[in-house]
Structure 1
């Protein structure tokens, strides 16, 4: 049993989206840049992609979870901490250490990664609108946890193995938390979130083993 109703849940998105505009537009631009950098590989492209992912996790943890979602669910402070940790680790592993190399490659992992990226940025909002929850009463790409997690799995599937398993822990945990809540709240665009962890993590771990 959740400590809030669907109406309260959607009301948080309304107030949040109105308060942070036009950050949503900027995050879409950053997401587009991350995708472009997968194909156009200037010097430092991998660090920039990791930095974009980190910015999404840090923003979502602090702005969404800690400042807005906590109004209806005190567990949001724990969620905020997890998102900040994930953002910090992306900065450490991907930006500072340069240990994540992104790129489109052959194989099922890349195709699944591209599909998840497209779903998070394009299909996700279309489903929300079709279900009668247009902006601002909807989770928006880049600034809310479920699209950020799906987008992250998509990009990590496009990372060259071996990839640190620590990068997968918090996204997988959130896929369970956010995905199960989505079912209880009847948010169908988040149903894929629940499956995304079970799809992405085995593919990445299998890729790591093949690269070992």
Structure 2
């Protein structure tokens, strides 16, 4: 049955859909065993339920504190016994206590070439900075925002006349194959992180892997 994957999402669920498809056709040696969300009405929850995947979704304002919400959600996550947790468009900051429950087993996809532009509004910030390249990164989640070890990246050029919306669309088209390739490599044992050091086939990575034009991960040149 492969690796057990829990997915966290707050939005439309397009990355969740990419993972479900890749698990279904064998590109990922694993299966999504649960979708966890802070947005009960989100597209991600609807996608999960349509696919027959267990979905846990509750509004944070129903809990006394941020920590109480995290504890409830991560109790539910622990109950599905995941080998890997993937934050795929999950828009809340996860507290340190929750992250500590799953060290080196939680990945996040972020729409920038980290360490550039952590946080929100990355496409507008890339344009304002005059960046020639933009893209997406998959990193290991640590308590500091978008600061964990970066495993893999996909790059896109910033074009003359780009708006945040056109740039976002071009990045999203690369986000899906990047996330699928990274999760596939993790589930297949090629990619991992030990002691805060990303490893590819057992060797320490000096730089993030790069997604090629055929959707495969390659060591940086």
| Shorter-chain TM band | under 0.3
Q: Tell me which protein shows more strand as a share of its residues.
A: 2
TM-score, length-scaled by structure 1: 0.26
Structure with the bigger RCO (C-alpha within 8 Å, sep 6+) is 1
TM-score, length-scaled by structure 2: 0.26
